Amino acid sequence: MADMMQFDLVSPERMLASLQASEIEIPGAEGDFTAMADHATLVTTLRPGILKVKGADGVSEFVVTGGFVEITAGSASVLAEAAVPRADVTRAIADQMIAEAEARVAETNGIARDSADKRLADTRIMVQTLGL
């Protein structure tokens, strides 16, 4: 049995998950990575994507739109801007995520525009992956 680490997923509105996990697949801003116990301490930003957690009772998946992750040797805390269990994501929610990303592109310019563009692209890919 692999070593376990404490995994917490919180969004501003509620706490979505708090469990012991052996592997966490995280969509980081600069690429996906998997965190396991005794990972180096790390803080990174998230891009819109799918977060996978392997716990004692199987794999749970969450759709996140952005936020931060703080990883220490024994724990991983995900501070998501918005997070929804994958099973609960409907076409309507996905469309809304895209619409929000599009709105952000429309209202920004300059350097912020680039990150808004990237965010929109990431959101589109994510929705495609979900295959709704």
Partner 1 sequence: MANLKDLKTRIESVKSTRKITKAMQMVAAAKLRRAQEAAEASRPYGERMAAVLANLAGAAADAADAPKLLAGTGSDQVHLLVVATSERGLCGGFNSSIVKMARLHAQNLQTSGKTVKILTIGKKGREQLRREFAGSMVSHVDLSSVKRLGYNNAQDIARQVLDRFDAGEFDVATIFYNVFQSVVTQIPTARQLIPAEVEDGGESDRPFYEYEPDEEEILTELLPTAMTTQVFTALLENAASEQGARMSAMDNATRNAGEMIEKLTIEFNRSRQAAITNELIEIISGAEAL
Smallest separation (angstroms) from partner 1 to the CB of 108: 11
Select from 4, 6, 8, 108 the one that contacts partner 1 (CB under 8 A).
Answer: 8
Nearer to partner 1, 3 or 81 (CB): 81
Residues 37-76 that bind partner 1 (CB under 8 A): 40-45, 67-68, 70, 72
Q: Indicate the burial class of 43 (C-beta count within 10 angstroms; 0-12, 13-18, 19 or more).
A: exposed
The yes or no reply on residue 105 touching partner 1 (CB under 8 A) is no
- In this complex, which beta carbon is closest to partner 1, that of residue 17 or of residue 130? 17
Closer to partner 1 at the Cβ: 1 or 111?
111
Contact status, residue 39 vs residue 22, Cβ threshold 8 Å: no
Rounded-to-integer distance, Cα 101 and Cα 84, Å: 16
Return d(Cα 52, Cα 127) in angstroms, integer. 16
Tokens of 22: 């052996």
Query: Among 36, 77, 118, 130, which residue sits at the site for partner 1 (rule: CB under 8 A)?
Result: 77
20 torsion bin: left (phi>0), alpha (psi -120 to 50), beta (else):
beta
| Member of 4, 17, 19, 29 binding partner 1 (CB under 8 A) | 29
Helices 91-107 & 111-130 angle (0-180, nearest 10) = 170
- Whichever of 13 and 88 has its CB closer to partner 1, that residue is 13
Residues binding partner 1: number (CB under 8 A): 24
